[in-house]
Amino acid sequence: MRALATWIVSLAAGLASAAPPAPPASAVLSARVEVRNGRPQLLVNDQPEYPMFYALTDVPGGRFSWEDVPAHNVGQFARVVGVRLFQFDLAMEHVWLEDGTIDLGVARRQIQGALAARADAAVVFRLHVRPPRWWVLRHPAEQTAFLDTPTLPEYVAGHNRFIEDDLKAVPRVSLASDLWRDEAAAVVARFCRELAATPEGNALIGIQVAAGVYGEWHYWGFTEHEVDGGPAMAAAFRRWLGARYGSDQALRAAWRDPAATLAGALVPGLAERAAMGDGGFRLPDTQQRVIDYYRCQHETVADAILRFCRVVKQSWPRPLVTGTFYGYFFACFGRDQAGGHLELQRLLRSPWVDYLSGPNAYYPDASELGDPYRSRGLVASVRAHGKLWLDEMDQAVPLRSYADPEYRKSLAESIAKVRRNVLYGQAAGSGLWFYDFGPSGFSQGPAQSRTNALGVNGWWDDPELLADLGRLRALLQSRLELRWESQADTLAVFDTESYYHTRSVKEAPDAVSHALVNWGALGLYRAGVAFDALHLADLPDADLTRYRVVVFFNVWRMSAEQRLFVQEKVAVGGRDVLWFGAPGYTDGRRNSDAFVRELTGLDLRRVAHPAKAVVRTTAAFGPTLEYSLSDGAVSPLFAVADPDATALGHFVGTQQVAIASRRLASHTAWYAALPSWSADLTAGLVRRTAAHRYSDEGDIVYAGGGLVTLHTKAGGHRVVTLRNGRRVELELPAGPATVLLDAATGARLF
């Protein structure tokens, strides 16, 4: 296997050296992220650049910028769209050779491919800092240990995609390995210093550090397996406990274990992780060891990211941007504890990170025409900390071949889809890169082959589609000097800390959080409102005066100070405040029903449903919904016992109120005991609040930066109501369309 890995590296390096050199960069580039005109902006040589990139994937056949098909697409985005920002993957296998030498061949050739298309190209590397396969096999004690299965050998013949088996139980470095961090950091520092001294290095403006599953800093195998019981993680856990508690006595008090010691602490096993002491919640006074382990795992991963970002910034001789995949909150497959991104605040508060990024949400209802395109992250929080958010936009379009009778129809649909995806970022104050699996031949839709020698050229390789995208990019570039403001009057509040206290293992998932965060939040888009997605920790610094409605999602963990802030600053001024489940149920030290009543201002009483609880809405809610969350019991489960509340739903077979609203002296409280696997529950509740609805026809609306985007699947006659009360009536052709309007006048801008 070691010989095969060496052969792969030699082949890649040979390809790089065999290609003719391209002209060097015409200027030495630097870059930074700075808040300008109300939002974080990317500055290249002090000039704002709209953050739209074209990116090649790690897939063989589409990863090297100098190859025919990728070079064609790089050139098309450069010439037709006007893009000068490019991102290319670079693995340690390309750079860190087994004899200890550093090879810059592939890196230099990747940059040359961009410069051949555009002399002022600016390049970002996604640098996979995971060690090469030969290193992992040489250091078995530094590997991840899976708790539920032995590590299996990795079959690598026939492919050289370095991230191919990241979700399998195959040899992977422990993300807690000090040896890996030290040696890889030294290699990254050498790479930066040596590349910066080359002509191609002049064109590099950023490095995105990558490791974990697919480079996205999820723990290896997290969707199917439990990790990490290896020696590297065990040592890291003991160090972490030592820093947190300082003495055996303090550890024993926290764990309620008279035999616990810092030197002998073990990573909790499967049975301990699966055990739940309080329904869907852990008991802090008896299960602190598991809570501590998960926090240690997530802090360890976050600290690895910060280590590599710091090395990059300190080793590059000019200002450049550093970024990473992190901050995924939506669409994490219900495995947030095992491999999500729970230490968001740790990165947002660091000076070493300029941008966070992630693929667009993959579910629910996220990719088809008429669905809402959306980010995986809490973009308002990222923006509030002065960081840039970049989407990895990897959605294929339904574009058919020129000879297909449906080509013109598919082109119109493709334009509508691309406009929707790009304009989401305009409304959110974020950016994106087009992540093109097309050059490799990977397709998610109709055949896209063209009648020329290059065959499949890319997911978006159509002259009219690219020209439309070019006009859109130019418009967005021209607006960078205008003041950007969020136009949302609804605030959605989410939390990562709460996951440390809820179910974690695959056999016992946290269904309440998973349904509420993903399907529940989808209802905000279906309600036709504009909203900001914020982390609970950032709530005290938010400008709450702009929000008529605040929706609290998975805020199960709240301190006494946070509960008081909500009571004094949020639930005031006649605002609508929406709650689900058991908000504030734990403060991290104990769980209490009283916390829930205190926080919501409602008389909520615990009820028991030993089997499946079913909720049916009343006529006061609107259209009848009947739903359940799971076949098993949900605990804790609350019913509204407040006689002054308006019942909007009951537990079927009882008179217990499951959904209700009540107008209080300071605000109106809304409550639903159970979330639903449908967006209709949240959408129905939000439509009853004071939130401004741009559309009542089920269309998707984005609003921000003085623009309103309407995306419709049906077309035809549409009505958009602007915040100032102006009604805009549109006559659109039948079928999908994405329309851009001026937020004040309603004029169509594009």
pLDDT digits (tens, 9 = 90+) for 351-384: 999 999 999 999 999 999 999 999 999 999 999 9
pLDDT for position 7 = 36
And the tokens for 379?
């973009």
pLDDT of residue 93: 92
pLDDT the model gives residue 442: 65
Q: pLDDT per residue over 257-308, tens digit each?
A: 999 999 999 999 999 999 999 999 999 989 999 999 999 999 999 999 999 9
Label residue 160 by pLDDT band (50, 70, 90).
low
Cα–Cα distances in angstroms (integers) from residue 696 to residues 85, 143, 580, 739, in the given order: 38, 54, 24, 16
CATH number for the segment(s) 490-687: 3.40.50.880
| Residue 441: pLDDT over 70 | no
Distance CA 152, CA 348 (A): 36
Cα–Cα distance measured from residue 618 to residue 115, given in angstroms and rounded to the nearest whole number: 63
pLDDT greater than 80 at residue 711: yes
Q: Is pLDDT at 159 greater than 80 in this prediction?
A: no
Which of 423, 412, 344, 410 is CA-nearest to residue 376?
Answer: 344
Point out which residues pair with 557 in neighbouring strands: 586
Residue 734 — φ and ψ, nearest 5°? Answer: -60, 140
- Cβ within 8 Å of residue 432, ≥6 positions away: 51, 52, 53, 390, 391, 392, 393, 421, 422, 425
- With a CB cutoff of 8 Å and minimum separation 6, the contacts of 543 are none
Which strand (E) or helix (H) includes residue 470? helix 463-478
Rounded distance between C-alpha atoms, residue 217 and residue 211, angstroms: 5
Looking at the chain, the whole-number percentage of residues with pLDDT higher than 90 is 88
> Which letter does DSSP use for residue 489 in this model?
-
Specify the DSSP class assigned to residue 262.
T
Runs of H (alpha helix) within 567-690: 593-600, 680-687
**Mean pLDDT, the chain, integer:** 93
Domain ranges for the chain, please list them.
2-221+298-478, 231-293, 490-687, 700-742
Residue 270's contacts (CB-CB under 8 Å, 6 or more residues apart) are 147, 148, 226, 505
The 3-state secondary structure of 73-117 reads HHHHHHHHHCCCEEEEEEEHHHHECCCCCECCHHHHHHHHHHHHH
Phi, psi torsion values for 85, nearest 5 degrees? -100, 130
**What is the share, in percent, of the chain residues with pLDDT greater than 70?**
94
Give pLDDT tens digits for 87-113.
999 999 999 999 999 999 999 999 999
Q: What is the mean pLDDT of residues 170-192?
A: 98
pLDDT exceeds 80 at position 44: yes
- pLDDT for the residue 15: 41
Q: Shortest CA distance to 171 belongs to which of 214, 127, 221?
A: 221
* Level-2 CATH architecture, domain 2-221+298-478: Alpha-Beta Barrel (3.20)
Q: Is the pLDDT of residue 346 over 70?
A: yes
pLDDT at 164: 87
More confident site: 631 or 535: 535
Q: How far apart are CA 273 and CA 292, in angstroms?
A: 11
Average pLDDT of the residues in 234-247: 98
Q: Could you tell me the sign of the dihedral formed by the alpha carbons of 426, 430, 436, 437, in that order?
A: negative
